[in-house]
Amino acid sequence: MVNYKISGVSGLPAFPVASAFVDKYMTKANATFVKVYLYGLRLCYAVGTKPDNAHIAKELDLLESDVVQAWNYWEGKGVIRRGPDGGIEFVDLTMETPAPPQVQEKPQYKAQDIAAAVTEDKKMAMLLNFAQNVFGKTLSTAETATLYSFYDWLKLPLEVIMMLLEHCAALEKYNMRYAEKIAIAWADEGINTIERAENHLQNADKRAKLSRKYKRMLGITGRDLSDSEYAHILQWTEEMQMPQELIKTAYEKAVLATGHASFPYINAILQSWHRQDITSIADLEKDAPPAPPVPKVQPKKTNKFLNYEQTAVYDFEEIERRALEKRIKEHG
């Protein structure tokens, strides 16, 4: 068995990292994003410092674009917020309710248990009535048991479950199995307040719209965008303010060079254009090298006989008649 301990605790300066960050978020993020988060959090406790992304990139031996991607990722997860001045605000994760242990199995509810819950608990009765109105049907006993599990097993608040059901209906998913998948994911991610649910749904809607748009443009089919790819798109559209036409042009150049939609290659092109203040196709064409001069074409030498155009119309019968009369006169 491995033992963990901290040496020299008495003289160890420290800053707090919420357990929820380690348990719920860190394990699913790539190492670069975690480094940026932890270093940024550390700087929150460094009095008198006003670091920027360039400083963080230098200290962590990263590209500045990597730092921006990390903040985009963490903002999407709801653990940081961006201020109007571009500053980073770390959300207090210490208030997060621990998610149900992953090893815990869903309870097997009996029909009489569900009936008693609906009869005796006014909240459950209201939730059942709400679910049936949103889904437009009467829930079966099994579906009611699934709904009850959100409330009893996953410990989601009533108003959060209602938002979840409305979200399913908006997606035209009127079945409890689909709702259960979302409920488990929300409980696992600590989405247990109206504010967190609203933030999550807004980010999810934004991601879905951007993903559909850029998957179509970049020719990506049969899969979802990865977190890193989505962070790139946020950087191009929000940080760099690049128009879609320039992103498409960078994509076309990447395909010519690599044979596919290489996000790092596209990002390198857009970073270069951003540094040059290129913000439109017109800027790009203006800065492009001039086209080689068109060689002059020497006029061809013409033959006046070959190029003569016949414009008159001749009566060959009249010519022949006159020639005959001339011969008759000459010979008497």
Question: What confidence score (pLDDT) does residue 317 get?
Answer: 54
Whole-number pLDDT of residue 4: 57
Q: How confident is the model at residue 302 (pLDDT cuts 50, 70, 90)?
A: very low
What is the value of pTM for the model shown? 0.58
| Residue predicted with more confidence, 295 or 187 | 187
Q: What is the pLDDT of residues 243-257, one digit of tens each?
A: 999 999 999 999 999
pLDDT at 96 over 90: no
List CB contacts of 88: < 8 A, sequence separation 6 or more.
40, 71, 80, 81, 82
The percentage of the chain sitting over the pLDDT mark of 90, rounded to a whole number, equals: 50
The β-bridge partners of 80 are 90
Chain centroid to Cα 288, Å, comes to 30
- The yes/no answer on whether domain 12-90 falls in CATH 1.10.3720.10 is no
280/276 Cα distance (integer angstroms): 11
Domain over 207-283 is classified CATH 2.30.30: no
